Amino acid sequence: MNPSTFQPLSLTDFDISPERGFLPSDPCDTLPDCPVLDHLSREMPKLLSTRQVRRFIDGKPSLLPSIPSSWRDDEYRAAMRILSFAGHAYVWETPGKPTSKLPSQLAQPWYEVVRKLGRPPVLSYASYALDNWRRLDPTTPIQLDNIVLLQNFLGGLDEEWFVVVHIQIEQQAGLGLDGLLQAINAVSTRKDDEVLLGLQALASAQTDMRNTLLRMKERCDPYVYYTRVRPYIHGWKNSPSLPDGLVYDKVEAYAQQPQQFRGETGAQSSIVPCLDAGLGIRHAPDPLTVYLQEMREYMPPRHRAFLQALENQTDNQRRAVLSGYVHDRRQSHPELWSAYCACVNLLAQFREIHIGYADSYINRQNQTSTTNPTAVGTGGTPFMTYLQKHLDETKQAIEA
């Protein structure tokens, strides 16, 4: 790497912070002057439990008559959250009998909002987790005993816990990402002590993230997750029950042609891809790498740009800057190499825990309907074989 051409990276340039990671400032819980949409948001668990979501939406001439020109970005994201939950509730309300067409009063405002946000009209991780929480006590930190969801499908402890665990991990990643950038930026000036401090900060955050992920089964039962939480987050691409996709009625850009979008999945979180990029973890091409590349389209644009910026940090040998730097110092600075290995090992542990959950929460469950298959993830792809491959490739990064 040529230090004279190196541009230091900053989290704030990408709407990321050490304190919150990829989480935004506290999300809006309601929308101004949108009584129908706010009512639908509040009542969705009751409407869905009685299978009245379609009837409610079909009976309204409009959910959002027009989008106010005065809306802030956080209000667009709040509208996206409500419309996304409403869209999925409408499609998947009746088990085993999804609808293949969204009514215009839902499809049109949803499309208008996603045009502003740069994401597809489908429930994505950003709306399911990043923009879907509030603090019970606004004066205390974002932590598991102080955060709850703004929007649920059916509600209940298992659904709540499943998502807030992800939210807590997103918050904990902030200090890790800050440490990662500290290490990468210090490479250009060859400040080994700064690289070391950055890696140690990353490892500390990764330890917290791992420990939070290990708590998933405390309050989210695999059977309840599979039967009561998972059915509503599927999409309509590679869907056995919606093979042609979904028609967004009267959305001019789609010309009444069915559209196919992936379902909500943790693969749309930016954390692990950014750690892969920053630590120089390489994955040989396979169906999962293709799928993960596609998942970037569902990330907020600034987070997508951050991931790309990390991938662009390469040295003269086309190696990731950080991993190349510490590899070259394995003998002269073993403490630096050890710190790097600790980060890679923690990433491998995180992946291993995730594989275990994918097995118990999905793969081992008893499939009763094609609308909730056990062989593929909510994104619509087979997962077990390739998750293991990516774990193995993570471990290989420090075996060479």
Helix H segments across the chain? 35-49, 53-58, 73-92, 104-117, 125, 157-187, 192-213, 216-219, 222-224, 271-279, 287-295, 301-311, 321-328, 334-358, 384-396
Q: How far is CA 318 from the centre of its chain?
A: 28
Q: What is the pLDDT along the chain (400 residues), one digit of tens a residue?
A: 444 356 899 999 999 999 999 999 999 999 989 999 999 999 999 999 999 999 999 999 999 988 988 999 999 999 999 999 999 999 999 999 999 999 999 999 999 999 999 999 999 999 999 999 999 999 999 999 999 999 999 999 999 999 999 999 999 999 999 999 999 999 999 999 999 999 999 999 999 999 999 999 999 999 999 999 999 999 999 999 999 999 999 999 999 999 999 999 999 999 999 999 999 999 999 888 999 999 999 999 999 999 999 999 998 888 999 999 999 999 999 999 999 999 999 999 999 999 999 999 998 998 988 889 888 887 777 778 789 999 999 999 998 5
| Radius of gyration of the chain from its Cα atoms, rounded to whole angstroms | 22
**Per-residue pLDDT at 6:** 64
Residue in 78, 219, 215, 90 with CA at minimum distance from that of residue 150: 78
Q: Backbone phi, then psi, for 353, in 5-degree steps? A: -60, -45
Tokens of 121: 């009209």
d(CA 229, CA 220): 10
Q: Which domains does the chain have, with CATH numbers?
A: 18-396 (1.20.58.480)
Find tokens 């402890």 and name the residue.
157
Side-chain-facing half-sphere of 164: CA atoms under 13 Å = 27
**Per-residue pLDDT at 303:** 98
d(CA 346, CA 333): 21
List b or e across 42-81, with b for residues whose CB sees 16 or more CB atoms inside 10 angstroms: eebbebbeeeebbebbeeeeebbeebeeebeeebbbbbbb
List b or e across 362-378, with b for residues whose CB sees 16 or more CB atoms inside 10 angstroms: beebeeeeebbbeebbb
Residue 224 DSSP SS3? helix
**Per-residue pLDDT at 276:** 97
d(CA 322, CA 278): 7
Residue in 66, 67, 69, 81 with CA at minimum distance from that of residue 30: 81
d(CA 255, CA 259): 10
Instruction: Transcribe 155-182 into DSSP letters.
Output: -SHHHHHHHHHHHHHHHHHHHHHHHHHH
What CA–CA distances, in Å, run from 79 to 55, 74, 262? Answer: 20, 9, 20
Total-model pTM: 0.96
Burial class (CB in 10 A: 0-12, 13-18, 19+), 253: exposed
DSSP designation for 237? S
d(CA 32, CA 24): 19
The residues facing 107 across adjacent strands are none
Find tokens 């892969």 and name the residue.
276
For 107, other C-beta atoms within 10 Å of its C-beta total 23
d(CA 72, CA 52): 31
Find tokens 């929480």 and name the residue.
133
**Per-residue pLDDT at 89:** 98
What CA–CA distances, in Å, run from 391 to 13, 26, 291, 364? Answer: 31, 34, 16, 20
